[in-house]
Chains A and B, each alone.
Chain A
Amino acid sequence: MKMTGGDAILRCLEAEGVEVMFGIPGGAIMPTYDAMARGTTVRHVLARHEQGAGHMAQGYARASGRVGVAIATSGPGATNLVTPIADAWMDSTPLVCITGQVRTPLIGTDAFQECDITGITLPIVKHSWLVQDVEELAAAIKAAFHVARTGRCGPVLVDVPRDIQETVFEFAYPETVELPGWRPPTKVHPLQSREAAKAIALARKPVLYVGGGTLNGDACEELLELAEAGTLPVITTLMGKSAFPETHELHFGWPGMHGPKWSNLAMNTCDVLVAVGARFDDRVTGKLSAFAPGATVIHLDVDPAEISKLRTADIPVVGPLRAALAALTPEIARHRDEGVPAPEPWLDQIRAWREEFPLKYGEDGGWLKPQRVLERLQSLTAGTDVVVTTGVGQHQMWAMQYLLSETPRSFITSGGLGTMGYGIPAAVGAKAARPEATVVCVDGDGCFQMTAQELVTAVVEELPIVVVLINNGYLGMVTQWQDMFFDGRRSHVHLTPDVPNYALLAEAYGGVGMVVTNEEELDTALAEALTASRTVVVDCRVDPAEQCFPMVPTGAAAVDMIEFEPSVVEEEARAS
Chain B
Amino acid sequence: MKHTLSVTVEDKPGALNRITTMFARRGFNIDSLAVGPTERPGVSCITLRVDCSRHTLEQIEKQIHKLVNVLRVTELQPGEAVERELLVVRIAAPADRRAELVTTAQALGARLLDVGRDAVVMELAGTPEELDGFHQLCEPYGIVDLVRTGRVGVPRASAERRVPRRLAAIR
Contacts and interface: CB of A to CB of B under 8 A. Distances in A.
Interface string A112-125: 00000011001100
A418 to B, nearest CB: 18
A277 interface: no
A318 B25 CA distance: 24
A337 to B, nearest CB: 30
A123 B62 CA distance: 16
Contacts of A180: 10, 71
B101 to A, nearest CB: 46
Contacts, number: 56
B122 to A, nearest CB: 39
A542 B67 CA distance: 47
B9 interface: yes
A303 B68 contact: no
A307 interface: yes
Given A122-B18, A181-B67, A181-B69, A130 B10 contact: no
A304 B170 contact: yes
Contacts of B68: 126-127, 147, 179, 181-182
A189 interface: yes
A180 B10 CA distance: 8
B22 A123 contact: yes
A305 B59 contact: yes
Interface in A147-190: 147, 151, 179-182, 185, 189
Nearest to A180: B71
- Interface SS majority for chain B: helix
B59 A185 contact: no
Interface residues of B, number: 26
Contact of B58 (A122, A127, A130, A308): A308
Contacts of B70: 181
A14 B10 CA distance: 29
Contacts of B65: 304-305
Nearest to B63: A305
A122 B63 CA distance: 14
B169 A308 contact: yes
A130 B67 contact: no
A2 interface: no
Given A122-B17, A180-B71, A308 B55 contact: yes
Interface of A: 118-119, 122-123, 126-128, 130, 147, 151, 179-182, 185, 189, 303-305, 307-309, 313, 316, 318
Interface of B: 9-10, 13-14, 17-18, 21-22, 24-25, 55, 58-59, 62-63, 65-71, 167-170
26 contacts: A122-B18, A122-B21, A123-B22, A123-B24, A123-B25, A126-B68, A128-B14, A147-B68, A151-B66, A179-B68, A180-B71, A181-B69, A181-B70, A181-B71, A182-B68, A189-B170, A303-B66, A304-B62, A304-B65, A304-B167, A304-B169, A305-B59, A305-B62, A307-B62, A308-B168, A309-B59
